[in-house]
Amino acid sequence: MITFDSVTKRYPDGTVAVDHLSLEAPTGEVTVFVGPSGCGKTTSLRMINRMIDATEGEILLDGRPVREIDPPTLRRGIGYVIQQAGLFPHKKIVDNIATVPHLLGWDRGKARARAMELLERVGLDPAMGERYPFQLSGGQQQRVGVARALAADPPVLLMDEPFSAVDPIVRTSLQDELLRLQAELNKTIVFVTHDIDEAIKLGDRVAVLRVGGRLAQLADPKTLLSEPADDFVREFLGRDRGIRRLQFVSTEGLRLRTDLTVPEGYEGGRSEPWLLVVTKDGRPLGWIAGDGRGGPEPYGTFRPGQDSMRAALDAALLSPSGCAVAVDEEGKVAGVATREALDAALAEAADA
């Protein structure tokens, strides 16, 4: 548990970066600090490991004030991930990951074995351990940064906009990897971002900060989207917060039609405006007009009961039919969610 008890950071020139911040980051959960530039997100994070010291108030780590812990000792027990990974360019990847274990006195063989294990855990080929940072892509370097932070198995992980410098596809992959790792490891994570979508995706709790370092709202993502505390939070969440809410609405129980598929080679004759062409083994090929004219048109898929209503709606919007294709774990068609079924589910979610 990380506790901020009326914490203030005031610089010598009078600038207040964090103003009487009080909140808790529960053990084993991801707490995300989000807000506009100048709201004290990074300052708050760096006060946890005493890279910056608070001016007033207390930060407690499992009930013990961090100001009572020697900074180097404190930092060796806390994983830290930053933008651009911050790897040592002159060291091989395996030795970058083994940095903290070395500092803790582990022997070389044990530290390197731990590093190779973590390479696999973060989704990288262990053979990359013998490469240097410049030989890896930006996304690979960020994975190494996460591995290095986990090397000594710290209970706390601090992450300061770690995925902001990579492209959107890699960023999504890294977010998914973090969620997978957290499901296995249950670390206490404090994560800083300026991206509300990233905050909502990753956070068990989201702390929205105002400019000047004041807490505007602390809530789980679903509550944050449905019950913003005030106009500032509402504006920060954006006008499409209703769409974001759909990622917390399950597709479990969504009505599916199984009579809208036809095999390859279909030549028309059905009265339906759109039909889904499937392969012999049941995989989708595309939408085709009911009269059989034209080639297959694009389609979108979702996994019922696993993906959210937002994913189902995205799938429907990708298709000229306005329907979403439900697929199983093997990618085979389980049915079709029509626009009417989606509308009914959305109306039910709005009333909930």
For 119-141, the pLDDT digits (tens) are 888 888 888 888 998 998 888 88
CA pair distance 252, 304, nearest whole angstrom: 6
Structure pTM?
0.80
> Given a cut of 90, is residue 350 above it in pLDDT?
no
Quick one: tokens of 189?
A: 């994570």
CATH H superfamily, domain 2-248: P-loop containing nucleotide triphosphate hydrolases (3.40.50.300)
The angle, 0 to 180 degrees and rounded to 10, between the axes of the packed helices 168-185 and 138-150 is 20
CA distances (Å), origin 110, targets 79, 94, 105, 119:
19, 12, 10, 14
What b/e sequence results for 82-104 when a residue is b if at least 16 CB atoms lie within 10 Å of its CB, and e otherwise?
bbebebeeeebbbbbbbbbbbee
**Average of per-residue pLDDT across 1-20:** 94
- Domain residue spans of the chain: 2-248, 261-351
* CA angle in degrees (0–180, nearest 5) for 45-74-185: 70
Place of tokens 């969610």: 337
Give, in order, the Cα–Cα distances in Å from 13 to each of 51, 69, 181, 242, 335: 19, 27, 42, 42, 64
Read off the pLDDT of residues 194-235 as tens digits, 9 standing for 90 and up: 999 899 999 999 999 999 899 999 999 989 988 899 999 999
Instruction: Please give the class, per CATH, of domain 261-351.
Output: alpha beta
CB within 8 A of 52, min separation 6: which ones? 9, 43, 46
pLDDT at 36 over 80: yes
In the chain, % of residues over pLDDT 70: 99
With H, G, I as helix, E, B as strand and everything else as coil, classify residue 126. helix
221 and 34 Cβ atoms separated by less than 8 Å:
no
pLDDT at residue number 352:
59
